Amino acid sequence: MSDRFRLTLAQLNPTLGDLSGNAAKARAAWERAKADGADMVALPEMFLSGYQTQDLVQRPAFLADLRATLDDLARDCADGPMMGIGLPMAERGAIYNCWVVLGGGAMRATIRKHHLPNEQVFDEQRVFTSGDISGPFVAGPLRIGTPICEDAWHEDVAEAQAESGAELLLVPNGSPYARGRFDTRMTHMVARVIETELPLVYLNLVGGQDDQVFDGASFVLNPGGKLAVQLPAHEEAIVTVDFTRHADGWQADTGPRAALPDDLAQDYRTMCMGLGDYLRKSGFSKVVLGLSGGIDSALVATIAADTLGPENVQCVMLPSEYTSASSLSDAADQARRLGCKLDEVSIEGPRRAMTDALAPIFAGLAEDVTEENLQSRLRGTILMAISNKTGAMLLTTGNKSEVAVGYATIYGDMNGGYNPIKDLYKTRVFDICRWRNANHAPWMQAPAGAVIVPGIIDKPPSAELRADQRDDDSLPPYDVLDPILEGLVDHDLSVADLVARGFPRDTVERIAHLIHIAEWKRFQSAPGPRLSLRAFWLDRRYPMVNRWRDRSGA
């Protein structure tokens, strides 16, 4: 029996529903594995279908097409290494999250996911049936156990497979990015290695799908938990790893070990990948956005330029009588630094026309936020018109702090198809801007250096919808607001908890009230990439009509 096993890991980016395209990627990976003399090529969880499928997986026609695509793939890849690939499959009236091993033109093994996650962005118990724990399958000279994603976060599956004779654990994953996930995944996988005394391969998807971005960062651990191979984060990679049988079992030969980025770099790359894949997989290649001279739109423009190239980003300045001269000059400077086109469309004429049209109805009523929202909605209408005419997707630019408290105008500055900074609190917007001015990577298509105007970062935030307006006229300063929001939104803390931490009760209760009454706005907001473990949408699902308020500790 051979004492060597060669495994090709394909950390690739599928497109949900593009069955032929995903199969073509799998074939190309198989060809690479064959050229490398590999015994097997492995692809991640749900690769053939794309992930997450949500209710699409309940369509019988979709499942039938998947099975036909799988059969074709098995025939095409019969003469060469085995292939492991993930997909949903219907069996005996149930639907399973499966990982199938192909070889010699047929299915050699089918592993069904046992632990179905039903928390955060996952709702697998709604669409899948839990499978029994599968034993290991034979691959050349060794037996491989395959806990599928969530299965490896629990002891029982890996333990049962080891007791059944597994000599290697291969964990196919569809694990989306969230800040701090690298360490969490590593902790769980090291635990499985220590418990079973087996080497472990963690193979993750990469790429964006709706609000989720799969960050790759696959790795191989040897017995004892020692890192043997580390694939890069947020990049496709195909790497062949050799395993050698020693007296005390199998071990991976040391291979490439990519450096993983810090939190700010991870967040930025996730926002760029989320935007790029949302556009590409939806058929868009260009974007348009309102460039106000403020920090949020400056950051969104930079993300777009780094992702698509400055030539594919159209910025539009939409001044009113309240727009300051510094905002006009900062917007022009911002577009120049990025190399993006900048157009200017004044909203003064449309605003006068709308004011005159509404004058009879508004007679005798004092001016209030209505007139401010009118300006925002005119801007949104103009930007949507440009988007419709040019075919460029409109990006919206509200940060998580604004999204949380509803400080954005529905059908106005909330207009757009995607929001790259939706899960980025305002204080972190400042941090990311400073980080981007100090860092540049080869994948970034905008210039290096201080591409975000330093004056934009330094000036007090303002919506500029009335004279001398500042955000902190009606909200606490962001260094106070954001910790309150993180407590209420990200960690489900009570009002009493935050008061105990030193925040004024009336401020906390007011912020909690604003979060409650903005739920209907968030329900209609554009998607954006998930960066935290409590992003708005699948991570946090609240009713729009809800009279309960937290009076704890009153």
Residue type (1 letter), 344: E
Residue 97's SS3 state is strand
For the chain, give the number of residues.
554
Indicate the annotated binding residues for ATP: 290-297, 397
Task: Mark out the alpha helices in 391-543 (DSSP H runs).
Answer: 400-405, 426-438, 454-458, 478-485, 495-500, 505-517, 519-523
CB-based contact 289:343 (threshold 8 Å): no
Residue 546's SS3 state is coil
374 is written with which tokens? 């009118």
Half-sphere exposure of 107 (CA within 13 A, CB side): 16
End-to-end CA distance of the chain: 73
Q: Are strands 94-103 and 226-230 parallel, antiparallel or unpaired?
A: unpaired
Instruction: Give the orientation angle of helix 295-308 with respect to helix 325-338, to 10 degrees.
Output: 10
Indicate the annotated binding residues for deamido-NAD(+): 373, 402, 521
Residue 101's SS3 state is strand
Indicate the annotated binding residues: 175, 181, 290-297, 373, 397, 402, 521
Per-residue DSSP letter, 261 = P
Residue type (1 letter), 108: R
Q: Which residues neighbour 294 within 8 Å (Cβ) at sequence distance 6 or greater?
A: 327, 456, 461, 462
Q: Are strands 206-209 and 212-215 parallel, antiparallel or unpaired?
A: antiparallel
CA 38 to chain centre: 32
Active site residues: 45, 113, 149
CA 527 to chain centre: 10
